[in-house]
DNA sequence: GGCATGTGTATTTTT
DNA sequence: TACACATGCC
């Protein structure tokens, strides 16, 4: 078979790709061909005769997995590539647990809840336990999830986590413990797993013999991408998966670790050789992405890091163009400069798709989005609010979830409150009427709450009566029950318990999924129209949901995939029909990880934005923000433009005209600035010699920013 | 009295 | 958008 791609590798890459048996650590700097190396390694293994389905490739996002696999496909002359187990830790966990879950007493019917669902459940428990009753303020639901998740993922005692990362709510420690205990039990009762459970259960599965060994031995090779952003559990999983065989390859860059808020720890990559004795280490330092000046500036940012990194990236790509620091008067001017430069670059032949605008927090691009829309520049945004997080999509999914798992209290709670005149209290009452009662119910079949709803519906408040009936008949249609008939026996009770564990795709129930989704939409549409000022884009999102559903046969699979791998952007502006057109990329820096563009804009390079105010309370946080800027800068191939608005207006608190002056990001100090060329934004076309004083004053003032 | 719903304010990063 | 708090309905 053709192996010309092997010739294209540099010696270090080739060493990694052709490495034989045993543990391998690849420390790969930004733009050093990490993805290529991983893909080639997979291709190499398959070429050597390793069966594709005995290769496990763990990536950070599903997107990365897809890209990797499609690259492999181009290198290998076999269609077998599709058999490679690739995906995020979470999605692989989900897949394995559906097959082997019974070994740890986990029904393969479990549903997966996302972070927002977890937060809602925390909130219910918080109210049930009366934690919010006290006069003093109590941690909000999101915070509860953060604390819980961090504790679990870091594998540290709750007290330690709270003290270190959430000191302001240290006095509620006992309440947290009680809430988390109930949270754990409730999830179990409802057969629901959160993101963290997927990892915990996978690890548990590995530790449970003999199944654990079966699971681990299913794979000849385990490859892990972005190892610097794995957390304690994930590294334990990798270890547990490699007991009999030591064939494991970890790839990462300690200078790009930016997920400590998810309890990721650089220690994993640093300690890898200790965890796997005999590890062969390969370092990739040859950068093929960026021009020399861009790399020099990026390296300069890292030069100041408290912790020194072992690599210094090199590039052969000559260029006379230094990165640009654009000083803008305010955010509006920043928008103009960005839009202007983007169009200019496009005139020079750089497609919009080859250009990106990066920012620290997803709302930082709000004003720019308006401007782009005004100027008819199409864009796609990564990061920020996702399709699945939109309220109307969650509503739709909650209804489908009820059908999937009628004991899913959380979904009932959400759905019932859609009805007029139904709030938390009434919803709770109806729910207990449906899901409560004798324990035998659990044995009698999963669909019992639905059966009750059909046979003896609880009374709803008068305002909700009609809608409640509508919900009831929609649900009945979805499970194929005739409401007026004498036998309200849901056919879904003939559940696919007996289907082979390897085929979780098997359809259950007799109503096709697209029909169900369509039926649910017909129920939900009027509610959506009444609830929102401008329902049209939302209704379109729902149509989008129907389109996605058309690709699935199994409702459960559909829901789970949507939670584990949500579509990245909402379709309100540019929308799906224009997908083949050229569009600009807007992305949070976190979501930009692993990507590259010919031209990159970094906006809001002001202190307080990068680094984020929220992250500057301790040194570790400040250092991580530095790496974040480094990641952003190293995404650029040919053009790097950093934008700094001088003024920020306070629109909320003060009357209109209040503003404050910003400081340039602390990472762009005098030394680093020597690697940049500075431009003041929209000056009148030529420098105005009649007003030298103003210019000088401005320059003086600017200079102070980096000399002080 | 309990409960639903309206109003103003602050918003990191993601599987 | 989502939360906390205040008001107004049954």
Nearest to residue A648, comparing CAs of A666, A664, A670?
A664
Q: What is the model's pLDDT at position A437? A: 60
Q: What percent of chain A has pLDDT over 90?
A: 36
Nearest to residue A547, comparing CAs of A513, A507, A572?
A513
Cα A462 from chain centroid (whole Å): 42
- Bond from prior residue into A210 cis (ω within 30 degrees of 0): yes
- The reply to whether the CB atom of residue A170 sits less than 7 A from any atom in nucleic acid chain C is no
- Could you tell me the pLDDT band of residue A197, with boundaries at 50, 70 and 90? very high
Mean pLDDT, to the nearest integer, of A314-328?
A: 90
Cα–Cα dist A667/A297, whole Å:
11
Residues 312-331 in A having a C-beta less than 7 A from any atom of strand C are none
> Please, where are the H alpha helices in A224-365?
232-241, 267-270, 272-275, 292-303, 331-347
- Could you tell me the pLDDT band of residue A663, with boundaries at 50, 70 and 90? confident
| pLDDT exceeds 80 at position A387 | no
Choose the weakest-confidence range: A220-234, A535-549, A590-604: A535-549
Length of chain A: 708
Highest mean pLDDT out of A396-405, A523-532, A631-640, A643-652: A631-640
Positions in chain C where some atom is under 7 Å from a protein CB? 1-5
Mean pLDDT, to the nearest integer, of A21-39?
A: 93
Q: What is the model's pLDDT at position A203? A: 95
A 10 A CB-CB count for A278 gives 9
Establish how many alpha carbons lie within 13 A of residue A698's alpha carbon, considering only the half-sphere containing its beta carbon. Answer: 13
Checking each nucleotide's C1' against the CA of A420, the nearest proves to be: B4
Choose the weakest-confidence range: A25-39, A100-114, A319-333, A576-590: A576-590
Residues 384-413 in A having a C-beta less than 7 A from any atom of strand C are 385, 389-391
Distance of C1' in C9 from CA in A563, Å: 38
pLDDT digits (tens, 9 = 90+) for A156-184: 898 888 888 887 777 788 888 888 998 99
Checking each nucleotide's C1' against the CA of A383, the nearest proves to be: B14
Checking each nucleotide's C1' against the CA of A391, the nearest proves to be: C1
Checking each nucleotide's C1' against the CA of A119, the nearest proves to be: C2
Distance of C1' in B14 from CA in A263, Å: 12
Mean pLDDT, to the nearest integer, of A6-19?
A: 92
- Could you tell me the pLDDT band of residue A694, with boundaries at 50, 70 and 90? low
Tell the burial category of A336 from Cβ atoms under 10 Å away from its Cβ (0-12, 13-18, 19+): middle
pTM: 0.85
Distance of C1' in B2 from CA in A432, Å: 19
Q: Three-class SS of residue A365?
A: helix
**Nearest protein residue to nucleotide C9, judged by CA and C1' positions:** A421
Checking each nucleotide's C1' against the CA of A139, the nearest proves to be: C3
- Could you tell me the pLDDT band of residue A505, with boundaries at 50, 70 and 90? very low
- Bond from prior residue into A143 cis (ω within 30 degrees of 0): no
**3-class secondary structure for A614-634?**
HHCCCHHHHHHHHHHHHHHHC
Q: What is the model's pLDDT at position A701? A: 65
Checking each nucleotide's C1' against the CA of A132, the nearest proves to be: C4
What does DSSP assign to residue A281? E
Cα–Cα dist A419/A427, whole Å:
9
- The reply to whether the CB atom of residue A420 sits less than 7 A from any atom in nucleic acid chain C is no
| pLDDT exceeds 70 at position A68 | yes
Choose the weakest-confidence range: A238-247, A503-512, A535-544, A587-596: A503-512
Mean pLDDT, to the nearest integer, of A618-626?
A: 88
Q: What is the model's pLDDT at position A573? A: 37
Q: What is the model's pLDDT at position A493? A: 40
Highest mean pLDDT out of A82-91, A163-172, A694-703: A82-91
pLDDT digits (tens, 9 = 90+) for A427-465: 888 888 887 765 444 444 446 788 888 888 888 887 888
Q: What is the model's pLDDT at position A484? A: 66
pLDDT digits (tens, 9 = 90+) for A572-604: 333 444 455 788 989 899 989 888 999 999 999
Q: What is the model's pLDDT at position A682? A: 55
| pLDDT exceeds 50 at position A508 | no
DSSP A557-600: HHHHHHHHS--SS-SSSS-GGGTTS--EEEEETGGGTT--EEEE
Strand partners, A649: A659
Could you tell me which residues come within 8 angstroms of residue A509 by beta carbon, excluding any fewer than 6 positions away? Answer: A478, A479, A480, A491, A492, A555
Choose the weakest-confidence range: A79-93, A183-197, A315-329, A538-552: A538-552
Q: What is the model's pLDDT at position A571? A: 43
Cα dihedral across residues A630, A635, A637, A642: positive or negative: negative
**Nearest protein residue to nucleotide B13, judged by CA and C1' positions:** A590
Residues 348-387 in A having a C-beta less than 7 A from any atom of strand C are 385
| pLDDT exceeds 90 at position A275 | yes
Nearest to residue A18, comparing CAs of A52, A1, A43, A35?
A43
Q: What is the model's pLDDT at position A633? A: 96
Report yes or no: A666 and A607 within 8 Å, Cβ to Cβ: yes
Report yes or no: A450 and A407 within 8 Å, Cβ to Cβ: no
Mean pLDDT, to the nearest integer, of A141-170?
A: 86
Q: What is the model's pLDDT at position A138? A: 77
Mean pLDDT, to the nearest integer, of A553-577?
A: 69
pLDDT: which is higher, A527 or A656? A527
């Amino acid at each position: 078979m053709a192996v010309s791609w092997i010739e294209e590798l540099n010696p270090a890459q080739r060493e990694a790709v052709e490495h034989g048996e045993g543990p391998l650590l690849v420390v790969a700097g930004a733009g050093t061909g990490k993805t290529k190396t991983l893909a080639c390694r997979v291709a190499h293994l398959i070429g050597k005769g390793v069966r594709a389905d005995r290769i496990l490739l763990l990536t950070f996002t599903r997107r990365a997995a897809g890209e990797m696999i499609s690259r492999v496909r181009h290198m290998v002359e076999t269609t077998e590539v599709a058999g490679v187990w690739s995906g995020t830790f979470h999605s692989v966990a989900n897949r394995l647990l559906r097959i082997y879950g019974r070994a740890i007493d986990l029904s393969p019917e479990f549903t997966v809840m996302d972070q927002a669902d977890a937060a809602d459940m925390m909130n219910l428990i918080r109210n049930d336990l009366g934690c919010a009753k006290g006069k003093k303020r109590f941690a909000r639901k999101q915070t509860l999830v953060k604390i819980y998740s961090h504790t679990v993922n870091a594998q540290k005692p709750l007290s330690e986590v709270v003290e270190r990362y959430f000191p302001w709510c240290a006095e509620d420690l006992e309440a947290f413990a009680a809430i988390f205990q109930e949270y754990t039990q409730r999830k179990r009762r409802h057969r629901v797993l959160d993101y963290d459970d997927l990892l915990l259960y996978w690890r548990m599965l590995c530790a449970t013999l003999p199944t654990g060994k079966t699971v681990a031995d299913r794979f000849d090779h385990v490859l892990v991408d972005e190892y610097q952003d794995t957390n304690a559990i994930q590294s334990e999983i990798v270890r547990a998966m490699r007991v009999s065989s030591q064939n494991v390859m970890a790839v990462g860059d300690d200078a790009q670790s930016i997920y400590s808020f998810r309890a990721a720890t650089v220690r994993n990559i640093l300690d890898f050789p200790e965890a796997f004795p005999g590890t062969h280490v390969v370092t990739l330092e040859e950068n093929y992405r960026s021009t020399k000046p861009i790399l020099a500036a990026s390296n300069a940012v890292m030069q100041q890091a408290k912790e020194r990194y072992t690599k210094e990236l090199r590039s052969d790509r000559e260029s006379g163009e230094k990165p640009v620091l654009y000083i803008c008067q305010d955010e509006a001017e920043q928008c103009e400069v960005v839009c202007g430069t983007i169009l200019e670059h496009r005139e020079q032949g750089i497609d919009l798709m080859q250009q990106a605008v990066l920012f620290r927090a997803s709302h930082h691009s709000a004003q720019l989005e308006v401007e782009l829309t005004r100027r008819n520049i199409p864009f796609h945004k990564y990061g920020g609010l996702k399709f699945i997080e939109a309220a109307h999509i969650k509503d739709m999914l909650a209804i489908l979830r009820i059908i999937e798992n009628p004991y899913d209290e959380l979904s009932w709670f959400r759905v019932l409150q859609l009805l007029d005149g139904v709030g938390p209290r009434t919803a709770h009452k109806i729910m207990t009427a449906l899901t409560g009662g004798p324990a035998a119910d659990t044995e009698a079949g999963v669909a019992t709450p639905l059966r009750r709803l059909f046979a003896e519906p609880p009374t709803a408040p008068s305002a909700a009566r009609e809608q409640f009936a509508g919900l009831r008949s929609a649900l009945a249609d979805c499970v194929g029950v005739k409401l007026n008939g004498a036998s309200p026996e849901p056919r879904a009770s003939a559940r696919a318990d007996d289907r082979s564990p390897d085929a979780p795709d098997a359809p259950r129930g007799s109503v096709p999924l697209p029909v169900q989704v369509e039926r649910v939409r017909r129920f939900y549409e009027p509610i959506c129209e009444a609830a929102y000022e401008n329902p049209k884009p939302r209704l379109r999102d729902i149509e989008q949901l129907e389109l996605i559903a058309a690709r699935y046969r199994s409702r459960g699979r559909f829901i789970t995939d949507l939670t584990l791998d949500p579509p990245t952007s909402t379709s309100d502006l540019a929308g799906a029909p224009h997908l083949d057109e050229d569009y600009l990329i807007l992305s949070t820096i976190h979501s930009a990880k692993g990507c590259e563009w010919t031209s990159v804009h970094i906006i809001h390079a002001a202190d307080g934005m990068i680094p984020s105010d929220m992250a500057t309370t301790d040194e570790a946080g400040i250092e991580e923000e530095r790496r974040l800027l480094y990641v952003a800068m190293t995404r650029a191939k040919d053009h790097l433009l950093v934008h700094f608005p001088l003024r920020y207006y306070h629109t909320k608190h003060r009357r209109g005209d209040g503003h404050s002056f910003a400081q340039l990001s602390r990472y762009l100090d005098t030394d680093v600035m020597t690697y940049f060329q500075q431009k003041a934004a929209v000056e009148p076309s030529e420098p105005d010699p009649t007003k030298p004083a103003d210019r000088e004053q401005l320059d003086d003032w600017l200079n102070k920013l980096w000399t002080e």
